[in-house]
Structure 1
């Protein structure tokens, strides 16, 4: 029996091979999100950002027409990752922004952890473009949002058809941590506990027995 040698779908995220891209999480766009409760979505976004910060993963934030109705990037992101934002002048697809794409390329990392508002535009378009150019994109659906569940489901199907890896923020964290004995494992564990109420009980049990 022969086994496939293509590891594209089995190679894991690490703190050394990934970059985080937060795309258009802007106040005006957040208002239209209907596929997730706003409080849960905010919590998921914070969990993803804190995961990247704790693991030392480089992060890139971009916004579109923030002087107009889209509004500024939400503070739940900038309070964690800082306010160095690539402000696009008109490109709907962030990958069409030379500054945004150059920032990704400059990290030297081929795995992009990507989230955006709205999922079917701000996340979908750059994810498709990045995959077409050989990048390995992880679309974090629960740290993204769109108009309703139907739009989310249709977009998820199109992402997977293109080879994008659809995932969640907690799965990203666990994949990066890899081992409870790894560097920053305890800090990452507390990120998970702080943004996942149910898992907080697991963390309390784990550290109580150390």
Structure 2
């Protein structure tokens, strides 16, 4: 196994400020696509048992996006006043308690609520990955410049389905393969529709035997 690959047991996940105000002012991506991807990432973390922290900012004014909160009905998002999630000691304490040195993050907006904790966690010696298409900025330029700055600082970019596939990595892992296939079906866009078509064709073949 390659040491630089993400596995279900070698990292923790932070989903940062996927809230309605940030979503409504999103201009780097289609809001529906970011919701879809962030929900897929959240569901994948549940499937693989990855320690996951949800955060919000000034939660009395806006909830976490329902599609993400519904994946974690038992978790009350950690509510902050700091723009930099990493400057809230409860977040850092939670990360330390997981014992993980690799962190994966996604958030709104890329240029503030994702960028700042990524840079801070890197400075504290963590290996940080960020999911570009489960995040988004107030403009395409703001998102792109934040991505470039995080990469320059040493963070590793990835995307939703690359992340999910990296966790599964072998369809012979039957304990998660079925749920991951269902995740692709529900949230995988064209590929998900292709799976449904393939299953339909297989069903027709079986019916003619």
Say whether the fold is shared (TM-score over 0.5): yes
> 1:206 Cα deviation (Å)?
7.9
Structure 1 residue runs without a partner (length 5+): 1-6
Structure 2 residue runs without a partner (length 5+): 204-209
For residues 64-103 of structure 1, the C-alpha deviation after alignment (integer angstroms, 9 at most, x for no partner) is 11224xx121111110023321111x21100000001111
For residues 79-137 of structure 1, the C-alpha deviation after alignment (integer angstroms, 9 at most, x for no partner) is 0023321111x211000000011111111111111011100000000001111111111
> 1:201 Cα deviation (Å)?
4.6
For 1:92 and 1:206, how far apart are their aligned partners in 2? 46
SS of corresponding position for 1:12: coil
* Map of 1:4 onto structure 2: none
SS of corresponding position for 1:81: coil
For 2:128 and 2:167, how far apart are their aligned partners in 1? 15
For 1:22 and 1:81, how far apart are their aligned partners in 2? 12
* Map of 1:63 onto structure 2: 56
Structure 2 matches for 1:139-150, cutoff 5 A?
139-150=130-141
Q: 1:169 aligns with which of 133, 142, 160?
A: 160
TM-score normalised by structure 2 residue count: 0.88
Contact 1:22 1:116 in 2 (8 A): yes
Structure 2 matches for 1:173-184, cutoff 5 A?
173-182=164-173, 183-184=175-176
| 4+ runs deviating over 6 angstroms | none
For 1:56 and 1:203, how far apart are their aligned partners in 2? 25
SS of corresponding position for 2:186: helix
For 2:143 and 2:83, how far apart are their aligned partners in 1? 18
For 1:197 and 1:36, how far apart are their aligned partners in 2? 15
> 1:38 Cα deviation (Å)?
1.4
Higher helix residue share = 2
SS of corresponding position for 1:80: coil
From the CA coordinates, give the structure whose radius of gyration is larger. Answer: 2
For 1:120 and 1:63, how far apart are their aligned partners in 2? 16
Contact 1:59 1:81 in 2 (8 A): no
Match status 1:41 vs 2:34: yes
The CA RMSD measured in Å over matched residues stands at 1.8
